[in-house]
Amino acid sequence: MTAHSVEYIRYRIPEQQSAEFLAAYTRAAAQLAAAPQCVDYELARCEEDFEHFILRITWTSTEDHLEGFRKSELFAGFLAEIRPYTGTIEEMRHYKPTTVRGTGASVATLYAWAGGTEAFARLAEVFYDKVLKDDLLAPVFAALAPEHAEHVALWFGEVFGGPSVCPETQGGPATWSPSSPRGGAPMVRNITEAQRRRWVNLIQDAADEAGLPTDAEFRSAFLAYVEWGTRLAVHFSGPDAKPPAEQPAPRWTWGAAPPHRP
């Protein structure tokens, strides 16, 4: 997959024209929102010098921007709105993201919000007690090593923002399928939709019993990962599926809603 490209356009707009400039970009933004090559966009204004604005547009790729959007009818509409301000552009370049990236501590990770390693250890313990007693899932889990629950707890911790763990201790996103990005989960074939649904239901019941947070923001993010991981499990357990390429563990975070602090 081609990495996204980030375009930065820096404007110097005389303050008396700023209202018209913002109005023009409000109209032009409709063309960006409709462009399949555009991932997201944001226009920011400098706090120290009100005459400076920076437009950030994330494109699916530089080529998609130049050969796709620029040659589309959407670009004509976009340019018609902002043409009066093209002469004020001081910089217009594409940038590729580097590996230097991360998040600050202003918003807690899902890992910290849940209660850290101890919380996910409780979750795995309760969950595996349930699946081994479940008529639909017990045959799938019966052959797993006793330490597998511990491995799954470590995997969940890493996915939700905790410390990274060694590949040999990873449980995989579905914890019972070949869908683990680094091969940590045992190979299970032909997982059914009924088994997947039961897995999802039992992990939610286990989260309740293990005392994981019950606020809507945490549980919606938690369930989103569970749905994603188990659906991958079903896909990669199919008879014709190819094992996924090796890749880093996913890092799951809050969805549209940040953590609720009453």
- Residues 19, 72 within the same domain: yes
pLDDT band at 245 (very low <50, low <70, confident <90, very high): low
- Residues 70, 134 within the same domain: no
Q: Stretch 32-55: mean pLDDT, rounded?
A: 97
Tell me which of 70, 95, 120 is where a domain ends: 95
The pLDDT of residue 255 is above 80: yes
- Residues 59, 125 within the same domain: no
Whether residue 103 is contained in a domain is answered as no
Among 63-67, 75-79, 254-258, the minimum mean pLDDT is found in 254-258
Return the H-helix or E-strand segment holding 176.
none
Domains in the chain, number: 2
Whether residue 183 is contained in a domain is answered as yes
- Residues 230, 117 within the same domain: yes
- Residues 154, 203 within the same domain: yes
Whether residue 170 is contained in a domain is answered as yes
Residue 30 has φ and ψ, to the nearest 5°, of -60, -35
Are residues 2 and 65 in contact, defined by beta-carbon separation less than 8 angstroms? no
- Residue 105: burial class (beta carbons within 10 Å; 0-12, 13-18, 19+): exposed
**pTM tops 0.85, yes or no:** no
Return the H-helix or E-strand segment holding 209.
helix 193-209
pLDDT per residue as tens digits for the range 53-62 = 999 999 999 9
pLDDT band at 238 (very low <50, low <70, confident <90, very high): confident
- Residues 88, 205 within the same domain: no
Domain CATH code at residue 149: 1.10.490.10
The mean of the pLDDT values for the chain is 87
CA distance 77 to 228: 38
Provide the domain limits for residue 20.
5-95
pLDDT per residue as tens digits for the range 174-197 = 444 433 434 444 557 788 999 999
